[in-house]
Amino acid sequence: MRTIAKMFGKSPFGPLREFMNKISSCVELLPELFEAFVNGNDEKVMELVEEISYREHEADIVKINIRSQLPHTVLMPVSRRDILEVISNMDAIADLAEDTAVLVSMKKLRMPQELRELFFPYLRLCMNSVDKLGELFSELDELLQASFGGPEAQKINDIIDEISLMEHKADIEGRQLARKLFSLEKDMNPIDVFLFFKIFNKVADLSNFSEKVANRIRVWLLLK
């Protein structure tokens, strides 16, 4: 019977950390994408769309490898089903980055200045949730060594609380952004309003799915 060490190296959480790094590499390009977008640099937008799509594909390869290598019978710190659920929600974050990029490139849009002032801080807030999730995954090896308890478990819980607070703040700012968008709709093409609303929702879900992943890991702690 293959051991966890042979399957995953020194830690069963190593592949998840690698997957999270690939996901973060997709998300990190969004500010540059939107800067090119609001500046009307269509060539740069398309270049970044392609790069984000490529990085999402790389993340998919890591995801497929993890799923194919997860043991069915070997005892693991958490259940195979729990890991698969976390992988699915992590994968959604990379998909959201790609979906956002594709939406931005579908039609030449002009983002009103009033929206820009609210959107870029909002984007950064939602991305901070993903960054904080990456920090959480970097701590999982230490959590395993601590047998899912003690100060390391408390540290993980604190990070999860921070992600939840970020998601809450993002919800509040997202509503403000939506209200501003709809206050401008009389001066905008209805299709543009629809596309901006879709884009804003995709960005919001970066924070939402980060919280979902974090809360699932909190359940791991509660079950130990």
- How many other C-beta atoms can be found within 10 angstroms of the C-beta atom of residue 197? 15
Q: What confidence tens digit (pLDDT) does each residue in 50-98 have?
A: 999 999 999 999 999 988 887 665 545 667 788 889 999 999 999 999 9
Residues 144-180 pLDDT 10s: 665 566 777 788 899 999 999 999 999 999 999 999 9
The architecture (CATH level 2) of 4-223 comes to Up-down Bundle (1.20)
Helical residues (DSSP H) of the chain, grouped into ranges? 4-8, 14-27, 30-38, 42-69, 80-106, 113-138, 140-145, 150-183, 190-223
Residue 117 in this model has a pLDDT that exceeds 60 = yes
Chain centre distance of CA 170: 14
Q: What is the 3-state secondary structure (H, E, C) of 70-86?
A: CCCCCCCCCCHHHHHHH
| The pLDDT of residue 141 is above 80 | no
* Confidence (pTM): 0.89
* Closest to 202 in 3D by CA, of 18, 30, 28, 24: 30
